[in-house]
Amino acid sequence: MYETIYHRPSSVDEAVALFGKGSDSKYLAGGHTLIPVMKQRLAAPSDVIDLGKIKELIGIEASGDTLTIKAATTYFDIMQSADVKKSIPAIAYLTSVLGDPAVRYRGTIGGSIANNDPAADFPAALVSLGATVKTNKRSIAADDFFKGLFTTALEDGEIITQVSFPVPAKAGYEKMRHPASRFALTGVFVTKTKAGDVRVAATGASQNGVMRVPVIETALKANWSAGALDSVKVSDSGMLADIHGSAAYRANLVKVMAQRAVTAAG
Amino acid sequence: MSTIKLTVNGKAVSADVEDRTLLVHLLRENLNLTGTHVGCDTSQCGACVVHIDGRAVKSCTVLAGQAAGSNVTTIEGISKGDELHPMQLAFRDNHGLQCGYCTPGMIMSSIDIVHRHAGKLDEETVRQELEGNICRCTGYHNIVKAVLDAAGRMKVSQAAE
Amino acid sequence: MGVEGIGASVVRKEDRRFITGKGRYVDDIKIVGLTHAHFIRSPHAHAKVKSIDTSAAKDMPGVVGILTGQQIVDDKVGNLICGWAITSKDGTGMKMGAWPAMAPETVRFVGQAVAVVIAETKNQAKDAAEAVVVNYEELPAAADIRAAIKQGAPQLHPEAPGNVIYDWTIGDEAATEAAFKAAANVVSLDITNNRLVPNAMEPRAAIGEYNEAEEHFTLYTTSQNPHVARLVLSAFYNIAPEHKLRVVAPDVGGGFGSKIFIYPEEMVALWASKKVGRPVKWTGDRTEAFLTDAHGRDHLTNAELALDANNKITGLRVKTYANLGAYMSLFSSSVPTYLYATLLSGQYNIPNIFAEVISVYTNTTPVDAYRGAGRPEASFVVERLLETAARQLKVDPAELRRKNFITQFPHQTPVIMAYDIGDFGASLDSAMKAIDYAGFPARKAKAKSEGKLRGIGLSCYIEACGIAPSKAVGSLGAGVGLWESAEVRVNPVGTIEILTGSHSHGQGHETTFCQLVAERLGVPISQVQIVHGDTDKVQFGMGTYGSRSAAVGLTAILKAMEKVEAKAKKIAAHALEASESDIVIENGEFKVTGTDKSIALPMVALAAYTAHNLPDGMEPGLKEGAFYDPTNFTFPAGAYICELEVDAATGKTSFVNFVAADDFGRLINPMIVEGQVHGGLAQGIGQALLEGAVYDSSGQLLTASFMDYAMPRADDLPSFKLNHTTTLCPGNPLGVKGCGEAGAIGASAAVINAITDAIGNNKLEMPATPDRVWHAIHG
């Protein structure tokens, strides 16, 4: 790791100010994305601004039709939250199969989505549920937030403050874990909104990161059941392919995980 | 450089370290607590697991600065004098270790597992919960046995307290 | 058996330090004045080193020195050696290319070191290493066997035209050919034995320390065999004479073969400590372990089995290409030859066997012994062939095996090995009973009705352990003898120290070796200390590998014990005024049989050291040594059966049951034996389902961290059901055979046989990832 300067601000405003002062600052929340990259010397931030202890960034609120998770809330706290379990249990489940227990104590929803790893779980939940990402500057719809591999709509120095999820009629998540990294080899989040719309997002599958799966959405809109996908064929064009899964295999997983997610959603 | 103050195994400690210092290196190099090990570079093997404020985390993925002000417990801090922690005893009695390298992290994670699943642990849960700890020697068979055994012992010792 | 004697599941003595965080591994050691080394490694699989510019780096903060490959050559540090000479079928010797500890001219695998930066801190060494400019001229690379042997392939070493190291054969080619001609049925199989990375959890590490006043070196290192390390560093690498070099292998966090070898980093740490005049520590990180620890396996094989009309095996023909990587590691040449082809008879009566092994260089990490070392590859060939034959002939795989089992012992196979004893039918019976083999068809049918694909797979393995005798292995090309040493010291107050050449890095020697003493003398194991891992303390010994510690190391202790007991009996008889032949040892006392006269061991020891009243002519003291060279290998064997289900939609495998029935001869500590089996099974299952080192065509290792190389986790594995059958080894007085590698040898074939049974497609390579299984099901 290269030498850096560590800061622990106590407010979002202070964090933004510190960020501006550094020549190449980076925010850190749980650190489970940035620190491994720094250890490999693939990132060399002049300043590391720790958001993990900023009180205004931690907490979960459920109010009627919306579940709001503040950005520096850890996976563990999300997984344990009675509000999450009650309003969108699929998010609690997704968090329970994300990383390992030690990672769940440190990793945060904000850190996950800001990194936008193509195999991360949370981007699929945000896109499927039609969530809104709120930053210190603006609100961004999930569909507009994720911009391909490791890329988001965030501007330099912008801080995610919270994510708001509309509470759906039904939602489910299933994934096939990568045998080595334990990220999602492919994961699919399915949502039936209260308005009756169906949104399906897959992670770990596309070369462009999290993606909607229109062919599955269409089939499920007509018939919300796992069986409705039996005859659906997901194209393997544009799918990731590596030693752990060919494009055809991942395309198959998108369908199979979608079926299982629908079953889990009820 | 920064001066990091924290509590380790119940003692207030302070160390002057570069800001890039990881908690595991602070423990091993500055505090000579070499029971916490490094087995990988990618936050997966769990040989470095310690408790920060009661939560089992990977000290190779925490900057020393992030741990400032926290209460850190390492493998050296879980026994009460000569009286070993029930998890330590269970690992020994069930032959849950061979080369011993992953063992400190395994024990620290396992204590946390038992705390989180008080009274309702089964083999499948233990195996899932050990996802973040890699052992190359035991095939996990006896580690799983040890954790289940310790869960019973910890219930008894809590009841006795 | 006493409570702590042979056969007792005694809790391990060494555990207390490990469970309290007080183990002492190399990286835990601090020495005054310590510096830290970071190696500059080649990013290319094959390249010329055109220049190394250290000018910017050498003045960076904390830098103590920067040393290059040319300097190591200039200092006449020897090239790395291979300790087993193999002769090709045309009578020529193996073609060995030069391997300097750091490359002065040519790099031949990604990760090969070209220079080292030594600095006050590890971070400073890494910072400075980035400022060292190495200019490479890239060369075309051959990243796998097929690429290395094709016409016009890039040449790695001028000594080895066509990249072939040797083309070696064993067995009677003509007789085997005749058997195939006469066969009623022939079964053929192409097999890839996937390359594995050992991944002991403790990365390799070394500290070199030079004492100028004494002209003495000390090397702390992660070694399974510190004396062999000292011998090689002295005799071949010219770093220090043996009597001026101490090698210490303290607590070592797993080895699995990978810590047998003496690596460049250890050589450099030791050499550099004199160059820079400060102790030098190197601790590898996990990526360095992936790039530089010797890998295992990596064979391409075609195997054929000939059977007569009664389904009796009449011949076996095997052709194997073995990938030895870019250089010949210490025992690499022996692994695919004498440790592999000599086991191709398996548990079966096979009158004719012929095998050809062609070992090749590739631009990859060197390959050498990894848990099992040749025997897993042999077992996989034989057991996949037997299973395939049963399917092709439409007979029960258990019955086909049983029909061909060797039942008369001793049995001379056509490939050198003379099996001394075994009862293969008993192991198979035991495993079949444990898994309810008879009930499997009903379970499979039920699973099918629930939409699941269920399969069962057998593997009846045999291995050869305690590689021996020295004279025999010497005649086959080995550069070392394969005996073991022991010294038993009874101290003046009666406590006992056992000095052994066997090194313990997880195997539990500090407990099991004490159990032998408890058994023979009746003293508690708390009064016995096992001393190992330090060449200044322990007499020359050969170390730990090949499941040899019980059969060879413990027998050496027994031999020394016998000498100690004989002398102690003389002293006791003298003191008790009795005949030596009337003295018996019980509960730590020397008793005159049939009387109530006795003298306790501490009093005998005290008498030996005060020497006030010893028999005439007896030397004082009570300390004896022994060197034990076995007369034969031992032959552990067993039957493994795996039952599993495959999710056809995802290709994911789930275990239903895994049973093992092993015959290890006498068990010293059943708890520890079972632990060894569990660990071996995990590595065998890991090979079958998860693990595989993969290079791209340019020679870049795609699986260089735990992010890409799938290590078995707790939730990948089942609990195992272990059983034991016993035939005592006649070759050593304890009747022990060895248990350290069995699981890794036998498990892979059982898993692949089960999956291919479940999916009804015999074509499936390891690791059988969900992706591969899904493709095998769906085409």
A2/C703 CB distance under 8 A: no
**A215-253: b (≥16 Cβ within 10 Å) or e:** bbbebbeeebebebbeebebebeebbeebbbbbbbbbbb
**C328 in a structural domain:** yes
B20/A4 CB distance under 8 A: yes
Its sign, for the CA torsion A233, A234, A236, A237, is: positive
C398, C432 contact by CB (below 8 A): yes
Q: Are residues C588 and C673 in the same domain?
A: no
List, in sequence order, every residue forming a beta bridge with C701; answer none if it has no partner.
C695
**C596 in a structural domain:** yes
Reported confidence tier of residue C550, pLDDT bands at 50, 70, 90: confident
Query: pLDDT, tens digit, for every residue of A136-177?
Result: 999 999 999 999 999 999 999 999 999 999 999 999 999 999
A256 contacts on C by Cβ (under 8 Å): 649-650
Helix axes C742-759, C670-689, angle to 10 degrees: 40
Mean pLDDT over residues A24-39, rounded?
94
Cα–Cα distance for residue pair C480/C260, rounded to 1 Å: 13
Cα–Cα distance for residue pair C238/C236, rounded to 1 Å: 6
Angle ∠(C500,C503,C506) on CA atoms, nearest 5:
130
**pLDDT of the residue at C472:** 86
CA distance B160 to chain A (A): 28
C25/B37 CB distance under 8 A: yes
C703/A246 CB distance under 8 A: no
**SS3 call for C347:** coil
Distance in angstroms between the alpha carbons of the first and the last residue of chain A: 47
**pLDDT of the residue at B129:** 98
C423, C725 contact by CB (below 8 A): yes
The residues spanned by each domain of chain A are 5-50, 58-166, 170-265
**pLDDT of the residue at B161:** 58
Query: pLDDT, tens digit, for every residue of C319-338?
Result: 999 999 999 999 999 999 99
**C477 in a structural domain:** no
**pLDDT of the residue at C468:** 78
How many independent structural domains does chain C possess?
A: 3
Secondary structure percentages of chain A, helix, strand, coil, to 5: 35, 25, 40
Which residue matches tokens 């101490």?
Answer: C246
Total Cβ atoms within 10 A of residue C448: 11
* Mean pLDDT computed over every residue of chain A: 97
Picking from C130, C649, C706, the nearest residue to A180 by CB comes out as C706
**pLDDT of the residue at B160:** 63
Q: Which residue of C has its CA nearest to B83?
A: C20
Picking from A8, A50, A102, the nearest residue to B49 by CB comes out as A102
Please report how many Cα atoms fall inside a 13 Å half-sphere around the Cα of residue C319, on the Cβ side.
6
C657, C645 contact by CB (below 8 A): no
- My answer on whether omega of the bond before A36 falls inside 30° of 0, hence cis, is no
Query: pLDDT, tens digit, for every residue of C680-739?
Result: 999 999 999 999 999 999 999 999 999 999 999 999 999 999 999 999 999 999 999 999
Mean pLDDT over residues C81-90, rounded?
96
Torsion, Cα of B103, B104, B108, B110 (10° steps): 10
Is the pLDDT confidence value at C650 over 90? yes
Q: Are residues C726 and C676 in the same domain?
A: yes
Q: Flag residues of chain B having pLDDT under 50.
A: none
CATH of A58-166, one of 3.90.580.10, 3.40.50.300, 3.40.228.10, 3.30.465.10: 3.30.465.10
| 3-state secondary structure labels for all residues of C26-66 | HHHCCCCCCEEEEEEECCCCCEEEEEEECCCCCCCCCEEEE
Cα–Cα distance for residue pair C505/B100, rounded to 1 Å: 9
How many angstroms separate the most distant Cα atoms in chain C? 85
Total Cβ atoms within 10 A of residue C27: 23
A101/B129 CB distance under 8 A: yes
**pLDDT of the residue at C595:** 94
* Structural domain boundaries enclosing C122: 31-139+203-253+259-292
The subunits that touch chain A, with at least 3 C-beta pairs less than 8 Å apart, are B, C
Q: How far is CA B48 from CA A182, B102, B146, C397, in A?
A: 19, 8, 20, 46
**pLDDT of the residue at C151:** 96
Q: Are residues C309 and C416 in the same domain?
A: yes
In eight-state DSSP terms, residue A55 is G
* Mean pLDDT computed over every residue of chain B: 96
Angle ∠(A35,A38,A42) on CA atoms, nearest 5:
140
Fold of A5-50: 3.30.43
**pLDDT of the residue at B118:** 82
**C733 in a structural domain:** yes
Query: Which residue, of C598, C628, C658, is where some domain finishes?
Result: C628
**C283 in a structural domain:** yes
B73 contacts on C by Cβ (under 8 Å): none
Distant-in-sequence contacts of C494-497, Cβ < 8 A, 24+ apart:
C494/C523, C494/C527, C494/C588, C494/C600, C494/C601, C494/C602, C494/C603, C494/C604, C494/C605, C494/C606, C495/C527, C495/C528, C495/C529, C496/C521, C496/C523, C496/C527, C496/C528, C496/C529, C497/C528, C497/C529, C497/C530, C497/C531
**pLDDT of the residue at C417:** 95
Q: Classify the phi-psi angles of A94: left when phi > 0, otherwise alpha if psi is within -120 to 50, otherwise beta.
A: alpha
CA distance C573 to chain B (A): 41
Q: How far is CA C707 from CA A241, B38, C268, in A?
A: 16, 16, 30
B131/A8 CB distance under 8 A: no
Among residues B34, B9, B145, B158, the alpha carbon closest in space to that of B89 is found at B145
Q: Are residues C686 and C744 in the same domain?
A: yes
Angle ∠(A11,A12,A18) on CA atoms, nearest 5:
90
**pLDDT of the residue at C482:** 87
List, in sequence order, every residue forming a beta bridge with A70; answer none if it has no partner.
A162
**C185 in a structural domain:** no
**pLDDT of the residue at C127:** 96
Sort strands C637-647 and C652-663 into parallel, antiparallel or unpaired.
Answer: antiparallel
Six token digits for residue C213: 């006043």
In eight-state DSSP terms, residue A33 is T
Picking from A2, A28, A39, the nearest residue to B41 by CB comes out as A39
Contacts of C520 (CB under 8 A, 6+ apart): C558, C561, C565, C585
* Mean pLDDT computed over every residue of chain C: 97
Q: Are residues C307 and C441 in the same domain?
A: yes
Picking from B41, B60, B63, the nearest residue to A6 by CB comes out as B63
Total Cβ atoms within 10 A of residue C151: 5
Sequential DSSP letters for C637-685: EEEEEEEEEEETTTTEEEEEEEEEEEE-BS-S-HHHHHHHHHHHHHHHH
B133 contacts on A by Cβ (under 8 Å): 100
Cα–Cα distance for residue pair A238/A205, rounded to 1 Å: 9
Interface test with C, best of B33, B98, B143 (most C CBs within 10 A): B98
Q: How far is CA C456 from CA C215, C430, C452, in A?
A: 62, 16, 13
CA distance B51 to chain C (A): 14
Backbone angles phi, psi at C377, to 5 degrees: -65, -45
Reported confidence tier of residue C479, pLDDT bands at 50, 70, 90: confident
- Judge whether C696 is closer than 8 Å to chain A, CB to CB: no
**pLDDT of the residue at A210:** 97
Interface test with B, best of C19, C20, C27, C126 (most B CBs within 10 A): C19
Its sign, for the CA torsion B131, B137, B141, B144, is: negative
With residue B157 as reference, give the H or E element that holds it: helix B141-160
Query: Which residue, of C595, C611, C628, is where some domain finishes?
Result: C628
| CATH classification at residue C729 | 3.30.365.10
CA distance A145 to chain C (A): 27
Backbone angles phi, psi at C429, to 5 degrees: -55, -45
- Architecture in CATH of A170-265: 2-Layer Sandwich (3.30)
- My answer on whether omega of the bond before A179 falls inside 30° of 0, hence cis, is no
| CATH classification at residue C246 | 3.90.1170.50
Picking from B41, B103, B104, the nearest residue to C285 by CB comes out as B41
Query: pLDDT, tens digit, for every residue of C277-294?
Result: 999 999 999 999 999 999
Picking from B42, B44, B91, the nearest residue to C19 by CB comes out as B91
**C768 in a structural domain:** yes
Q: Are residues C365 and C454 in the same domain?
A: yes
**C10 in a structural domain:** no
Cα–Cα distance for residue pair A100/B40, rounded to 1 Å: 15
List, in sequence order, every residue forming a beta bridge with A27; answer none if it has no partner.
A49
Query: Which residue, of C628, C652, C676, is where some domain finishes?
Result: C628
**C237-247: b (≥16 Cβ within 10 Å) or e:** bebbeeeebbb
